[in-house]
Structure 1
Amino acid sequence: MNRTPDSPPPLAVRISSAPEQLAGLTPLLEAAHSAVGDVPALLELAKAAAEAAPLPGEGRTAFLWEILASVTAVDVAAGRAIEPHLDAAAILAQATGQPALDGRDRPDLDGVRSDGAWGVFAAEAAGQRLEAKPADSGFLLQGAKPWCSLAAQLDHAVVTAHLGDGGRAAFAVDLHAQGVSFEDPQWTSRGLREIPSGTVHFAAVPAVPLGDAGWYYRRPGFAWGGMGVAACWLGGAVAVARGFRASLLTAADGGRTPDQLALAHLGEIDRTLTALTGYLARTAARIDAGELTDTGAWSEALRIRGAVATAAERIQTLVSQNLGPGPLAFDEVYGKRMADLALYIRQHHAMRDDAQLGALTLKGEHPW
């Protein structure tokens, strides 16, 4: 996947930053291009991205999202690899009140070092339950956690676990600790093939609490992190759109002028992406201004995630209809991008998330 010497450098995805600021991302995007399909290199990329990325809500949220979108536009799996590491950095900073994972030495979190590659494991599944039990030295994790992407290759994770009183809390855990074991994920997916997600088992594993019961979900950073995932989806959609435009230009150079349908679809894609980047720019500015720190932050996250997921699926459909089966069958980069993005977007729960937003809207949490 290395570029040829005369090929252009990967392009950043602009939300609102100045061009000269985005130009500084070129080395990171070059590294993302070189790391495609190489999981250890992707995890090194995640650590490098953490050194460049600001924390959400501290004045440069749009630039954080531009990093996520831009890396994902290079390779969807690369974005999927770096996003949890950057989210973990934000969670640790919000919990401890100090920067984390930025390349500088940090004290241990009661025995769990803050260096290395991090994941965030907060999913739940029927028949699997992770519990946090009080112990003399803090808490011990007992049980199983599903959907733990790249767990066996990570160093640490932020995990959510059930408490004895029925609540849930977040914990930092060392994935190299005694008592941690990894189930073979049996990952048969054609999308995100290098990012397998499986079950991790914990047998009396020491863990450091991050906030009190419910803090992980109450904090505005929970919503901000959900928007960061949407920024990755946006980057994947931009990559699909860029590939479509390039294919039309190549066809035109060969004497096949795009017809009205192709141009109409390219026009729809343009106005859709322009509207989305404007929406993310405004929302990032609101976060930095302190306007999205209460329960309304989650409503906004649901709006952004729904808008981006719907748009990305629409763009994939338009491009696939226009280009036909050829690139799906014979273009490795195109086929990988389409499969990766289709699976990644399924983190959005479609109508179920809209139903959640509708319930919040019914209570009065809406801007109109």
Structure 2
Amino acid sequence: MDLQNYLARRTPDYPDTATLGACLRAMVEAGHDRLPLPGSGLTLERFQRLADVAGHDLGLCKLYEGHTDALAIIEQLGGSPTPGSTWGMWAAEPPQARVKVSPAGHMVALNGRKAWCSGAGVLSHALLTAWDADDQQQLVAVALDQPGVTITDQGWQAVGMGATGSVEVVFDGAEGQAIGNPGDYLQRPGFWQGGVGIAACWYGAARRIADSLRQQCAQREEPHALAHLGAVDTALQAAADVLRFSALHIDAHPEDNAELLARRARAVVEQSAEQVIREVGRALGAGPYCKDRHFAHLIADLPVFLRQSHAERDLATLGQLIARQPDEVWSL
């Protein structure tokens, strides 16, 4: 059974982290986490699957994207995850929550606090960023069911994306395995390729929200709703075209630095998703917010998920990159 059919057979209602974790484990057991690697020639298929899960449920997509991203990183850097394991990819680095690593035989010892740990209470493993004695960033794989790992109930009071349980985790001498060399997480081509994958998640949720408007307009042609649908279509088409181009470019240049590509794609998809939220809400009114549980979850979750973008800060960085480009940067 392909992923779309698998999701179609499930009710998109995951009230808590435990339910999300059970669904992720079932998807892993069914082999639906085996996505093509970025740059493998099938990057668009990877983006399509992420978008499909996002349209089903964004909380599930948050865990699924982190799990599949961790698997891709481990494979790219020469590791081999335990069969049947479920992974978090925890790379947030707020100043008040930093994990340090020190050598411990063939492994490393972790000490410190990690924030924004999505799914921490229901995952078997995590791949996280930590810092060595030379203040270099090091990826570490860690089993979460060991002494020295405390999953708190702190740092998460969310309504949108609330079921992801993105709490803080405290490490006190926990054992982990270093993955790759210091600096590999940000320096590898897959970092920015994965950043486009996040935009595919945004797109998948926006597409599903927009479908509520399309279905209503197919049943009743009200002029203002049709105008909103036209605006939604142009926004989604622009986002889809950018994601398709990005996938083709990544496959054609798998070892290139994809930062400019990714920042452009994320900016376009973010703006498109925000336009979809606005247009659909104005067209449909309060009805689906209050009477359609799936729609209500997506419309509450997507603005939170979109904040993985840093808004004007990301646009300013994109502007810096563009200012250094040759005159042909916008040529057709």
TM over 0.5: yes
TM-superposed deviation, 1:298: 1.3
1:362 maps to 323
1:315 maps to 276
Contact in 2 for aligned 1:84/1:119 (Cα 8 Å): yes
Please state whether the residue corresponding to 1:194 is helix, strand or coil.
helix
TM-superposed deviation, 1:42: 2.3
1:218-229 matches, within 5 Å, as 218-229=187-198
1:271 maps to 234
* Letter in structure 1 aligned against 2:55: A
* Letter in structure 2 aligned against 1:25: L
- Sequence identity, in percent? 35
Please state whether the residue corresponding to 1:27 is helix, strand or coil.
helix
1:57 maps to 39
CA distance in 2, matches of 1:115, 1:26: 21
* Letter in structure 1 aligned against 2:301: D
**Bigger mean CA deviation after superposition, 52-61 or 170-179:** 52-61
Return closer, same or farther for 1:327/1:307 CA change in 2, 3 Å cut-off.
same
1:294 and 2:256 aligned? yes
1:1-368 matches, within 5 Å, as 24-33=2-11, 36-37=14-15, 38-47=19-28, 48=30, 50-96=32-78, 113=82, 115-185=84-154, 187-250=156-219, 252=220, 257-259=221-223, 261-289=224-252, 291-295=253-257, 297-364=258-325, 367-368=329-330
CA distance in 2, matches of 1:205, 1:316: 43
Q: Deviations over 1:227-249 (max 9, x none)?
A: 11111100000001101111233
Contact in 2 for aligned 1:46/1:117 (Cα 8 Å): no
Please state whether the residue corresponding to 1:166 is helix, strand or coil.
coil
CA distance in 2, matches of 1:194, 1:142: 27
Return closer, same or farther for 1:60/1:32 CA change in 2, 3 Å cut-off.
farther
Q: Deviations over 1:189-242 (max 9, x none)?
A: 221221111110011111111111110100011111111111110000000110
TM-superposed deviation, 1:119: 0.5
Contact in 1 for aligned 2:155/2:168 (Cα 8 Å): no
Please state whether the residue corresponding to 1:349 is helix, strand or coil.
coil
TM-superposed deviation, 1:35: 6.4
Q: Deviations over 1:296-319 (max 9, x none)?
A: x01211111111111101110111
Contact in 2 for aligned 1:32/1:71 (Cα 8 Å): no
Return closer, same or farther for 1:93/1:35 CA change in 2, 3 Å cut-off.
farther
Contact in 2 for aligned 1:57/1:287 (Cα 8 Å): yes
* Letter in structure 1 aligned against 2:24: L
CA distance in 2, matches of 1:222, 1:148: 18
CA distance in 1, matches of 2:73, 2:166: 21
Q: CA RMSD in A?
A: 2.1
Return closer, same or farther for 1:225/1:43 CA change in 2, 3 Å cut-off.
same
CA distance in 2, matches of 1:244, 1:315: 10
CA distance in 2, matches of 1:94, 1:44: 23
Contact in 2 for aligned 1:185/1:199 (Cα 8 Å): yes
* Letter in structure 1 aligned against 2:169: V
Please state whether the residue corresponding to 2:153 is helix, strand or coil.
coil
Equivalent pairs, count: 325
CA distance in 2, matches of 1:31, 1:133: 46
TM-superposed deviation, 1:354: 1.0
TM-superposed deviation, 1:51: 4.5
> Which 5+ residue runs of structure 1 have no aligned equivalent?
1-22, 102-112
* Letter in structure 1 aligned against 2:43: T
CA distance in 1, matches of 2:85, 2:236: 35
Please state whether the residue corresponding to 1:199 is helix, strand or coil.
strand
* Letter in structure 1 aligned against 2:4: T
Please state whether the residue corresponding to 2:111 is helix, strand or coil.
strand
Return closer, same or farther for 1:35/1:315 CA change in 2, 3 Å cut-off.
closer
Q: Deviations over 1:144-183 (max 9, x none)?
A: 1000011111000110001211211111111112100011
CA distance in 1, matches of 2:13, 2:288: 23
Return closer, same or farther for 1:94/1:35 CA change in 2, 3 Å cut-off.
farther
Contact in 2 for aligned 1:150/1:196 (Cα 8 Å): yes
> Which 5+ residue runs of structure 2 have no aligned equivalent?
none
Return closer, same or farther for 1:172/1:114 CA change in 2, 3 Å cut-off.
farther
With structure 2 as the length reference, what TM-score do the two structures score? 0.91
TM-superposed deviation, 1:361: 2.2
Contact in 1 for aligned 2:60/2:164 (Cα 8 Å): no
Contact in 2 for aligned 1:129/1:143 (Cα 8 Å): yes
Contact in 2 for aligned 1:46/1:86 (Cα 8 Å): no
